[in-house]
Structure 1
């Protein structure tokens, strides 16, 4: 994606209480040409609509670093490291992705080949790594990525599908990992989850991803026993949940900001709030299929509490179409509320229009985008 040549104007959202001053929220209203997502099979190559965030992230190779919006905004990946060129599609060995990810020093990992990497076991990613799939079409299959006790990881422009085995997730983030950004990835068809964020992992952003052909999509907080998960904070925005059955996401304990996502044709529910979760759903598009209720609440008992509790969902400016119903609880559910403005000053949010829906349909997930040139930091 190239530069955005449009204008910016300030847009203020109401804040639910007087404890948070209303900062200026960046509002993008610029016109931009986007190519269709190549794995969508569409022939419409001249879609002109409002822009997605990060219009400048592809100017140079390392422009991605610290460009995320939301809770993962500090993730720098391998910004200060050497380039590692993946030259092999083998599961391990010299020039392989696994070889790069296990190294302890910061690395910006790029690919000189396209194709499928079949993982025979979880691929563990160490701290200060960028896995940058721009310029190639890389598919990971068999098993997934594991981000364990690591920080500052960026994963961009990959396909991850076809994971097999019990408890196998496409991207597993646990425990105590932080400053993670997952951007422009296509994820589908795993036996367990597509993204699991648990055990105190926090400061994470998931953006511009395409989720399809799957049941349990994103889990944030694995168990009501893990009360330390109260520290977790996650932003999910400009993602396309395309017929996935549930968990867009399902949340325990964490604070989660959802904005400008498009969920359609869910099989059970779109978003689930469970024990003590605080979800701020802003300007998302919820398009029902056979199941009409978007929001679900589950009651569970935290390990250090005497009574069961559910979570809280604030819905601001969400669009419910095709007969969808919010299912919002209006009574006091006995837990705190949060506003993202308490944690970061700006984010790019659009009205939930049909134009936005078309952008998210065609321009999320893996993109046929050239790998930018590297420039000295």
Structure 2
């Protein structure tokens, strides 16, 4: 399986990761043109801490010289042009999460983020007006609110090869039916493993969302929810039902500048439905052909058929990965 590890061709060099995202977040470069910042302490703050690197205004490629757990006493604000690169170490963030607010060009790679507590505390919160974001190979679980929330005009975002577990409200894209600014949202979610999480894989308002080659199993309410004006393309995903069988839920909500409420649209292409999973469509659901065409927004991605082999791969190659520390001086 090692030969199948994603991005093995770039993991030997530090900055080779930049520009490797597929989909809406493909332009994210993180701290490509900045210096390397070394995290040398697991303290929440102070010289050599992750927080100290994330709040600096200049571009930085942040790496870790140590493994361990960083207990965050407050949300960790990440400024623009930062790469938080956990490759080569095993770093866990707990207590609070990452705040990507009004920033651009941020890459977050190969971290564990779990055990967050407090009102409106998400593992990764992307709002408002953030863009060119890539979250890759992270393990996220057990937060009081969401694991990934994307809203208030944030767009050009890719979530890839992440493992989501032990959680209720997993991924929210577009938080409120009154936020018509979220009509600009574009998000790609691919090769992720939603491992028994309860709901929101994702739940979407307004935005355009491309889901491909994800594995979602044993959800508690529904797999994917399309609400007001959302457009979802579900392509070659595996949906394996447990007790609950509903894959796509269509939920009516009303935008403030419209006279009637609407739900979203879902176009399913090549999805594999297992264990009685059903794509029940209510009469309120829009014609699925109204969902956007991916090729009008970016070139086709490396989509592979939804097969049992893909299920096995995603079980082994999502979330935090044991990776040799990339060479720092190689570009």
TM-score normalised over the length of structure 2: 0.97
Residue segments in structure 1 that go unaligned for 5+ positions in a row: 1-32, 35-47
Equivalent residue for 1:298?
A: 251
Q: Could you tell me how far apart the structure 2 residues matched to 1:55 and 1:77 are?
A: 19
Q: Does 1:374 align with 2:328?
A: yes
2:264 aligned to which of 306, 311, 318: 311
1:115 is matched with which residue: 55, 58, 68?
A: 68
2:124 pairs with 1:171: yes
In the TM superposition, residue 52 of structure 1 has moved relative to its aligned partner by: 6.1
Correspondence for 1:354 among 288, 295, 308: 308
Query: Partners of 1:327 and 1:118 in 2: how far apart?
Result: 43
Give distance in 2, aligned partners of 1:260 and 1:52: 15
CA distance 1:113–1:53, shift in 2 (3 Å): closer
Matched position secondary structure for 1:269: coil
Partner of 2:318: 364
Partner of 2:200: 247
SS of the equivalent of 1:172 reads strand
Whole-Å Cα distance in 1 between the matches of residues 130 and 284 of structure 2? 34
Looking at structure 2, the residues matched to 178 and 302 of structure 1 have their Cα atoms a distance apart, in angstroms, of 23
CA distance in 1, matches of 2:299, 2:5: 18
**1:268 aligned to 221, 241, 251, which one?**
221
> In structure 2, which of residues 142, 150, 160 is the aligned counterpart of residue 189 of structure 1?
142
2:287 equivalent to 1:287: no
Hey, what does 1:219 align to over in structure 2?
172
SS in 2 for 1:216: coil
Q: CA deviation at 1:340?
A: 0.8
Give the C-alpha shift of residue 88 in structure 1: 0.6
Gaps of 5+ in 2: none
Is the contact made by 1:86 and 1:96 (CA closer than 8 Å) also made in structure 2?
A: yes
* Cα displacement (A) at 1:376: 5.2
Cα deviation code 1:212-255 (max 9, x no counterpart): 00000000000010001000000000000000000000000000
Bigger shift: residues 51-60 or 208-217? 51-60
What is the alpha-carbon distance in structure 1 between the residues aligned to residue 21 and residue 281 of structure 2?
Answer: 29
Among 154, 157, 178, which residue is 2:110 paired with?
157
Written as runs of structure 1 = structure 2, the 5 A alignment for 1:96-111 is 96-111=49-64
How far apart, in 2, do the equivalents of 1:278 and 1:346 lie?
Answer: 17
TM-score by length of 1: 0.85
1:92 to 16, 39, 45: 45
> Which residue number corresponds to residue 43 of structure 1?
none
CA distance in 2, matches of 1:207, 1:284: 13
Shift in Å, 1:371 = 1.5
Cα 1:330–1:56 change in 2 (3 A) is farther
Which one of the candidate residues 183, 205, 210 is aligned to 1:257? 210
**Which residue of structure 2 lines up, in the alignment, with residue 26 of structure 1?**
none
Measured in 2, the distance between the counterparts of 1:298 and 1:331 equals 8
Name the residue aligned to 2:92: 139
1:231 alignment partner, one of 184, 195, 201: 184
Distance between the aligned counterparts of 1:239 and 1:143, measured in 2? 22
2:173/2:204 contact within 8 Å kept: yes
Q: CA RMSD in A?
A: 1.4
The answer to whether the 8 A contact 1:170-1:194 is kept is yes
Give SS of 1:203's match: strand
Q: Please give the alpha-carbon distance, in whole angstroms, between the structure 1 residues aligned to 2:40 and 2:127.
A: 29
CA deviations 1:31-90 (Å, max 9, x no partner) are xx32xxxxxxxxxxxxx8xx4653423131111101100000000000000000000100
Quote how far apart the aligned CAs of 1:334 are: 7.3
Tell me if 1:56 matches 2:9.
Answer: yes
